[in-house]
Amino acid sequence: MHINLVLKTLGLVLLFEAAAMVPSLFVGLFFHESNPQPFLISITAAGLVGLGLYLVPIKNKNVGYREGFAIATFGWLLLAIFGAIPFVLSGALPSYVDALFETMSGFTTTGSSVLTNIEILPKSVLFWRSMTHWLGGMGIIVLTLALIPSLNIGGMQMFKAEVPGPTKSKVLPRVAQTSRQLYKVYVIITVTQIILLKLAGLSWFDAAIHSFGTVATGGFSNYNASVGHFQSVSVEIIIIFFMIISGMNFSLHYYAMRGNLAPLWKDRESKLYLGVIVVSIALIIIDLMNNMDYAATKALREASFQVTSIITTTGFATADFEKWPPLSKFILLILMFFGGCAGSTGGGLKAGRILILFKSVSCQLTRLIHPQAVLRVRIGRDVVNHEVVESVYNFFTLYILIFAAGALILTGLGLDLISAASASITALGNVGPGLNLVGPMSNFSGVPDLGKLTLTLLMLIGRLEIYTVLVVFSVRFWR
């Protein structure tokens, strides 16, 4: 493995992070905050270390699979390590473990928080907190590829290691072109939502914060009551719409913006994703009306928002679903596993993998009835390669095992079973809120430090789709 190339690219990532902190510094100056030092020191630290790494001489500029995996894994770790500095220096989170948890939650677009009173924090810190979402949404490494093609660290290796989902379709032949086009879509969607939220009555600051959290499917809000603070149907409808499209494959949005809607309508994964949303909303509406005497309009409003927020792994809240009946909470728990579509900013298992699993099980049942039949897993007219099916099975198995290991550690640290299990899956799936101790109107401050570090690792593993992280910790990887 070309260590110097990895170090040089990591330096570039840190330089981008230093540049990304500058807007937060200006936000603090705009709102006349008295102490700019947290961001000045953080920008300087990330910039100097980044520059030092970037100046490392390299001979080979071609990124292989090993380099790609190392850059992705250690890149996210460095982003969280340096991104936590403003939280500590500003006093928002004096504990570095808490700050690391909050920052990793931001960059992985998880949205879990240890903050107990968000509204007292400086606006510069709140802006940086949400900026970590927006940067992590499509991936800081893909951004690096998009803006610095001259470094020639292209190839699909880093794109495969970074972009979430079981399959990655290249929109354009070169990954740098692909990255730029996807980021154009990302920026257009973000700006559109900011404008619509502003027209709905939010301030520019609130609109930006909640747009960053929506498009990145992250869920950080600058209010303790999350989106419920606004008590606005129009705001909720706008956020629901953008959560849904952000949970879909961004390649489809690229084609749609170019006037080609056919891929959007024909995509089987999107159909499954949207179908699960509709069915889940309907079931929860019936449950709320029957067991909590909700009016139909209130049930529709709360169910629609929370189902969309959970399945897209955004994590915004307008209601305390911890108080909902067991059936509704169980549906939301299942949706935490399900997640968005491949190629989206969402987390979870991904609808595409679920679809392949169901198709594979269907084939297996048919083989039991017709042992001589030659059957292949098909998604529409396309035959799914056997290696892909096998990798989906392996991924699913690993996902469940890692979830169980996380829950086991948390129960060993004293959390009750529901809190531990929901905290583990919400971290691994990059969802945000869990149940009981870590419910939508609570936070993760009560989790012991070892538990927070465990959840921080689960966030990273989930964001980079398990294999990217596990392979780096393999002995054979370094031989």
Ranges of each domain in the chain? 356-478
Please classify residue 385 by burial: count the beta carbons closer than 10 Å to its beta carbon, then call 0-12 exposed, 13-18 middle and 19+ buried. exposed
Quote the CA–CA distance of 234 and 393 in Å, as a whole number: 41
Confidence of residue 108 (pLDDT cuts 50, 70, 90): very high
Q: Would the annotation count 9 as a binding residue?
A: no
Distances (CA, A) of 245 to 190, 223, 339, 410, 411: 11, 24, 13, 34, 36
Q: Would the annotation count 430 as a binding residue?
A: yes
Dihedral angle at the C-alpha atoms of 81, 41, 35, 133, nearest 10 degrees?
Answer: -30
pLDDT digits (tens, 9 = 90+) for 168-191: 566 655 666 777 888 889 999 999
Q: Would the annotation count 431 as a binding residue?
A: yes
Q: Would the annotation count 11 as a binding residue?
A: no
Residues 330-356, mean pLDDT to the nearest whole number: 91
Q: Would the annotation count 314 as a binding residue?
A: yes
Q: Would the annotation count 345 as a binding residue?
A: no
Quote the CA–CA distance of 342 and 383 in Å, as a whole number: 18
Confidence of residue 260 (pLDDT cuts 50, 70, 90): confident
* Biggest distance spanned by C-alpha atoms of the chain: 76
Q: Would the annotation count 213 as a binding residue?
A: no
Confidence of residue 37 (pLDDT cuts 50, 70, 90): very high
Quote the CA–CA distance of 145 and 69 in Å, as a whole number: 15
Place of tokens 């927006």: 134
Confidence of residue 150 (pLDDT cuts 50, 70, 90): very low
Which of 224-238, 417-431, 442-456, 458-472 shows the lowest per-residue confidence on average (mean pLDDT)? Answer: 458-472
Quote the CA–CA distance of 117 and 221 in Å, as a whole number: 11
Instruction: Report whether CATH 1.10.287 matches the domain 356-478.
Output: yes
